[in-house]
Amino acid sequence: MIWRSLRLLVLCVLVGFLGLQLSFLARIAWMARVNPASTAFERSQMWAISQKGALRWRQDWVDSAQISVHLKRAVIVSEDDIFASHDGVQWEALEKAWQKNAKAELQAARSGQNKPNKIVGGSTITQQLAKNLFLSGERTLLRKGQELILTFMLEAVLDKARILEIYLNHVEWGEGVFGAEAAARHYFNKSAAQLSPWEAARLAVMLPRPKHYEKFPQSEYLSSRAEVIMARMPGARLP
């Protein structure tokens, strides 16, 4: 009786898991033709901002042709230099990131800290999009496993140009600032299509810590790193 109940429980879990994956797959297939209105991450940020009493929010979808090629090159160079050719995951970078994080967590534990000061990501553009579209911000192995499944779904169903287009329209560039068009208007008072190479490089450098650099736009690192990115942009391979 116990084993029968256990098998039934396992079967229900498997069916539920499969149903969840199929729902994700259907939503991704829909995105091949329909622009997603928002992401899970955006909705969580909207809620957090609303709790402060005032909702400052901007996210304006623009088609890929209306986003400066300089920004596309800068983001690829900064975030995922082999985006056009990988299968969704840079395995070597991911392994190095996990090793660095494990070392940081061990050092934090030895020093009595609750968590390490910095978490290294190692995620590709496709992985970042998978996380932002569907998942919470928690860092667990279960969530990371789901992120990988979603990453492979995105790569299987959407082409690279579409993945980049959705990513650039929904990535965070400041508190309540999402997408290339909103970022260009917010920081440079111009459209995403009009961004210069220098402006594009600065926006790309902001991506890992957009809220930080929004508060400290004169950061020496931001300026120096933007110069490095701008020099590498001509060699970026676009999808």
Domains and CATH numbers, the chain: 2-52+59-89+125-235 (1.10.3810.10), 93-123 (no CATH)
Beta bridge partner(s), residue 189: none
Among 103-112, 136-145, 167-176, 212-221, top mean pLDDT goes to 167-176
Please tell me the total number of residues recorded for the chain in this structure: 239
Give pLDDT, residue 116. 47
pLDDT digits (tens, 9 = 90+) for 15-53: 787 888 899 999 999 999 999 999 999 999 888 888 877
pLDDT digits (tens, 9 = 90+) for 67-77: 999 999 999 99
SS3 sequence, the chain? Answer: CHHHHHHHHHHHHHHHHHHHHHHHHHHHHHHCCCCCCCCHHHHHHHHHHHCCCCCCCEECCCCHHHCCHHHHHHHHHHHCCCCCCCCCCCHHHHHHHHHHHHHHHHHHHHCCCCCCCCCCCCCCHHHHHHHHHHCCCCCCHHHHHHHHHHHHHHHHHCCHHHHHHHHHHHCECCCCEECHHHHHHHHHCCCHHHCCHHHHHHHHHHCCCHHHHHHCCCCHHHHHHHHHHHHHHHHCCCC
Residue 121 has pLDDT above 70, yes or no: no
pLDDT digits (tens, 9 = 90+) for 153-208: 999 999 999 999 999 999 999 999 999 999 999 999 999 999 999 999 999 999 98
pLDDT digits (tens, 9 = 90+) for 76-105: 999 999 998 888 887 776 666 665 655 655
Residue 61 has pLDDT above 70, yes or no: yes
Give pLDDT, residue 1. 67
Sole residue written with tokens 């729902």? 23
Give pLDDT, residue 171. 96
* 54-58, 199-203, 232-236: the lowest-pLDDT one: 54-58
Residue 13 has pLDDT above 90, yes or no: no
Give pLDDT, residue 94. 64
Q: In the predicted model, what is the mean pLDDT of the chain?
A: 86
Residue 119 has pLDDT above 90, yes or no: no
Q: 140, 135, 138, 171: which is closest to 153 by C-alpha?
A: 135
Give pLDDT, residue 113. 60
- CB–CB of 183/214 below 8 Å? no
